[in-house]
Amino acid sequence: MFINYFRNKKMKKQYSENNCGFTSDGSYIEDVLVKAKDENMYLIRHTQYADENKELTTFGIYRIFNNKDKQIGHLKYVFNNKDKNDVHMILCDIYFDFLYRNIGLGSKTLALFEKRAKCYGAQHITGKLSDVDEQTPYEKALRNEFYRRTGYEIINFKMIYKTISK
C-alpha cells in the first residue's frame, strides 16, 4: 500500500492533465487518468489508428494501464458511418485482467467510449457478446449485469445495444 502511494503520485505527476495529440504515423492519442474503487490511479489511453496516408481510420482501442505501467485491459471498437441513416459504433471487445475487475474501470472506460461515440455522431452502440465470458454461470451473470447496469440491452442472449442520447 505504501508503494502504491508513490506509484499513484508518480502517475498524477506524469499525467497531471488529460493529454491528447497525434503520433508520427498520424494516429490520434488521448490519455485520461482515473482513480478506481481500489484508490489506485489508472491511465486510460485511447488510440484512433491512422492509415498509410496518415488519415484517421474507423478503428480504435482504449488501453488501460495500472500504476506499474502494465496494460491490464482494453476496449476495441469500430466506427461505422457508411450508411448516413445508421451511424453507429461497434463495441468489438472489452477485457480486463481478473484482478482489475469490479473496481469501476470497465464503467469508466465504457463512459469514455460512449462520449466518443456521441462526438462521432453515432446514433447507437452495438456489439456481440463473447463466449469467453460464459465459462461459468457466474461469469456470464457478471458480464450481463455489467452491461445492464451501464444501460445496454441484451438481445437474444448474444448482442448488446444502446441508444446514444443527443
Q: pLDDT tens digits for 22-80?
A: 989 999 999 999 999 999 999 999 999 999 998 888 999 999 999 999 999 999 999 99
Q: In whole angstroms, give the CA distance from residue 133 to residue 138.
A: 9
- Residue from 18, 16, 7 nearest 70 by CA: 7
Supply the pLDDT for residue 17: 66
Q: Residue 111: how many CB atoms within 10 A of its CB? A: 13
Q: Which amino acid is at 132?
A: V
Alpha helices in the chain (DSSP H): 2-14, 105-120, 137-149
Residue 113: pLDDT over 80: yes
- The cell for 51 is 492509415
Residue 112: pLDDT over 90: yes
Residue 165: pLDDT over 80: no
The predicted model gives 128-142 an average pLDDT of 86
Residues 134 and 158: beta-carbon distance below 8 Å:
no
Of residues 29 and 3, more confidently modeled: 29
Q: In whole angstroms, give the CA distance from residue 5 to residue 8.
A: 5
pLDDT band (50, 70, 90) for residue 1? low
